[in-house]
Chains A and B, each alone.
Chain A
């Protein structure tokens, strides 16, 4: 089955700086890669996703890049703000039939004021 590795487990950045979280996946059949933000005691919130036919996608301060050859994808957050502090999860799916998501272990992003 799919295996998703996520790094780093904790990331502390100064407010206004950029943050980058990286994930690798094992199943070359995976074609859908979402990123979720989870605040304490809440369910994950989809912040951006990318499909395998696209190399990069951007939404305001958030961007995701995908390298299918190397089987890795990354989340980039620019101009970080205190409200960006949360746990971020990457995930992968083959998207076939009723496939669930395989999640990375999460990155605790801390924005230092």
Chain B
């Protein structure tokens, strides 16, 4: 149980284009999903918190107009990197939490983004 999937697993795009990453909870309903970014050999940095049916909450320093987050259903959240630049290249990982008061987060396998 508690499986989280991400798609795509890796993507290469040209500078200036937009890329959408999907995060799905496969066997549970996730009222809250989180998006993290990880640079090589570094820790995970929280980018934003996504609640189903409401606007995402972004961490300080994360551009909400650049990293668009949508949590349209209890099993799906999407992260769109708009007008991507080489510095946006990174490993993006989502996690999902089952409900209020439940703190356990299950992580997806991550999406490797390379912007040329």
Contact = CB atoms under 8 A, between A and B. Distances in A.
A in complex with B: yes
Contacts of A34: 103-105
A86 B65 CA distance: 35
Contacts of A95: 101, 103
A68 B28 CA distance: 32
A100 interface: yes
Contacts of B104: 34, 46, 49
B24 to A, nearest CB: 13
Interface residues of B, number: 26
Nearest to A100: B46
A42 B109 contact: yes
B110 A42 contact: yes
A65 to B, nearest CB: 19
Contacts of B42: 105-106
B79 interface: no
B49 interface: yes
Given A98-B32, A98-B51, A103 B106 contact: no
Interface in A21-73: 32, 34, 36, 41-46, 49, 51
B107 interface: yes
Interface string B1-27: 000101000000000000000000000
A31 B109 CA distance: 26
A85 interface: no
Given A34-B105, A95-B103, A44 B51 contact: no
Contact of A45 (B34, B36, B57, B107): B107
Given A34-B104, A93-B103, A100 B34 contact: yes
Interface of A: 32, 34, 36, 41-46, 49, 51, 89, 93, 95, 98-106
Interface of B: 4, 6, 32, 34, 36, 42-46, 49, 51, 57, 59, 93, 95, 101, 103-110, 112
The 6 residue pairs across chains A and B that have the minimum distance between CB atoms: A100-B46, A43-B107, A32-B103, A43-B109, A95-B103, A98-B49
